[in-house]
Amino acid sequence: MKFLGIKGFGLIAVCVTGILLVVAVGDFPNWGDPQSPASRHLSPHYITETLEETAVPNIVTSVLADYRGFDTMFETAVIFTAGVAVIFVLRVLRSAKESAVPEEMDPELTHTDVIIRTIVRLLIPFIQLFALYVVMHGHHSPGGGFQGGVMLGASFILLAISYDLKTALRRLSERKVLILGGVGVLIYAGIGTICLLLGGNFLDYSALAKILPATDTVMARSHGMLGIEIGVAIAVMAIMMVIYANLSSRGKYDKGL
Amino acid sequence: MIWQFDLIILTLVVICAIAAICLKDLLSAAVVLGAYSFLMCLLWTEMGAVDVAFTEAAVGAGVSTIFFLSAVFRTTRRTKD
């Protein structure tokens, strides 16, 4: 393998995988084929029954958060695990002696100026407001917990880039971020467990109608989805901030970019 | 689906993907990968998968580009191979 090198090996791997994928795609039903198994009973059910069963007009949200709620819960857990893994790999708790520091980028590229700071300070509230709208309005328009959470996290990252990491960490300290990350996943799993305690299946939100005031079983599913979207948004926001803070300060949390 | 529009986006996607691999400067490679994600976002939108496009724009083009950039800033800018 010496004469090939890592890139040649990668090229061969990509070509073989690509050929296998192209061959496998031939067995798929055609794009939009009305006779394919998915289009015959699964999709029509979601398309025609979603509004009556869950009172959520956006079918994608109802499939992700309700019909496939278990799947989305573990996606959130994957994000959380990614954040924990980044902490384990990068975070330096004891400030060791500086040794073998790789070359820094030239400071010309990393300095900040007053125009950027002012614009960012004006922009961040609107970004966060829009992110909250995306989370809350995910039932009716494209969006939801993941997108809104990423945007919330990005607003804090923007603050960290334009000022420095310390300013962002003063708003959202490391301790707070980690607690929020856990709380987000816990909200999701907690709502599922409450459904269980109320006599339904795990993540069967219609059981929530027993404790939510003035709600029938259909609206309860809509409200349950909103609850778990909020949990997802909190977890994703916190984890984005954790990953950025660790990457940009080499795990020391002293100065960012 | 407008096939001309489709063709332009798909061509640019392939160009961006190859450029992101071939570039020696990792900072440029990260930015080109962000452009690739944005083109993929346009492609999803054009296919009608608006939720996926939204995620691609927020995660692929936005946050992951920042992660790549901060990793480049904290390590080295030139690739060895």
Q: What are phi and psi of B78, to 5 degrees?
A: -95, 135
Mutate to test the interface with B, among A130, A141, A150 (most CBs of B within 10 A): A150
Q: Quick one: average pLDDT of A174-195? A: 90
Domain boundaries, chain A: 57-90+113-257
Q: Quick one: average pLDDT of A131-159? A: 89
User: Quick check: B51 and A60 CB within 8 A?
Assistant: yes
User: Quick check: B51 and A143 CB within 8 A?
Assistant: yes
Q: Quick one: average pLDDT of A36-48? A: 82
| Element containing residue A177 per DSSP (H, E) | helix A174-197
Cα dist. A67→A46, A50, A62, A209 in Å?
9, 10, 7, 17
- Predicted confidence at residue A126, as pLDDT, reads 94
- Predicted confidence at residue A98, as pLDDT, reads 55
Q: What are phi and psi of B25, to 5 degrees?
A: -85, 115
In this prediction the ipTM stands at: 0.85
**pLDDT tier at A106 (50, 70, 90 boundaries)?**
low
Domain boundaries, chain B: 3-74
* Tens digits of residue pLDDT in A199-217: 888 888 888 888 888 778 8
Give residues 104 to 133 of A whose Cβ lies within 8 Å of B.
105, 109-110
Which has more pLDDT, A254 or A220? A220
Question: Residue A180 in contact with residue A234, Cβ under 8 Å?
Answer: yes
* Tens digits of residue pLDDT in B27-79: 899 999 999 999 999 998 988 888 899 999 998 888 999 999 888 888 877 77
Residue in A closest to B66 by C-alpha: A244
- CB burial of A179-215 (b: ≥16 within 10 Å; e: otherwise) equals ebbeebbbbbbebbebbeebebeebbbbbbbeeeeeb
User: Quick check: A157 and B66 CB within 8 A?
Assistant: yes
Let me know how long chain A is.
257
